[in-house]
Chain A
């Protein structure tokens, strides 16, 4: 079984010798046209613990980012053998190169903002279902309160997102995991602008005391490689 970490450009350049894959496995490059897939071979699916495996996958991708543009693979991407991998690379060769063009020189920054007032709104008490008129009124009040809180959270998230998106080459916003999560987004940022982006997060934090903001990264561009290769699996999955 072949575990795939990333697809990069510059196929002439071997993966860094110092980097190791899952379970300490050595890394190999599989070259196909202008692409280099970085992989490790395993007799069976690599053992867990899962969190160590996640970081191991991440560190391989990061090590490749030091000398080339890379498309990180979703964790768990594996193929039965090298022939299947070559077929997959060949079938999407030009699309992958064009996605690489889009992320070259750029990194992903993650921003989350959580409601700073103790996650107010996450727990509007559900009224007791008495069935009486009072119960009906309190039910309506409950829904109204919920809606108000949601609208306020959406407005707060948008106010944080807009200036960050303006500084980014691309953005990807995902729904919060609950009413307390005002913003959960990724921004594709030119490397020289990372410090500027962080300063902007700090300025927004000063201006928006209703939110607790978290900025992590730089990450490989996980959130900006999906669109053009969405139908990858339908293209090669049949015979893999």
Chain B
């Protein structure tokens, strides 16, 4: 995987967490959520594939540096 792909992948993985927070967390004030729910659903569907491919990797996933054997530094 190229560095470019890793950075893109990291952003996509972070996007799932971003959605979890911006759409379900935060202080709620006033009125309407303008982001159509359909859009959010599409994002989740698209990202499921990414999550699953990350989960299938041998190492810890793209959001953490690789685990080294031996005692922690």
Contact = CB atoms under 8 A, between A and B. Distances in A.
A186 B15 CA distance: 15
Interface in A46-75: 46, 48, 50-51, 53-55, 57-58, 71-75
A180 interface: yes
A85 B33 CA distance: 16
A76 B33 contact: yes
Which among B48, B64, B72 has the greatest number of chain A C-beta atoms within 10 A? B64
Contact-size category for B: 35 or more
A50 B35 CA distance: 6
A125 interface: no
Contacts, number: 170
Nearest to B55: A114
A102 B41 CA distance: 32
Interface of A: 4, 7, 45-46, 48, 50-51, 53-55, 57-58, 71-80, 84-85, 88, 96, 108, 110, 112, 114-116, 118-119, 174, 177, 180-181, 184, 186, 198-199, 201-203, 205-206, 212-217, 219-220, 222-223, 225-226, 229, 232-233, 236-237, 240
Interface of B: 13-36, 39-40, 43-44, 48, 51-52, 54-57, 60-65, 67, 72
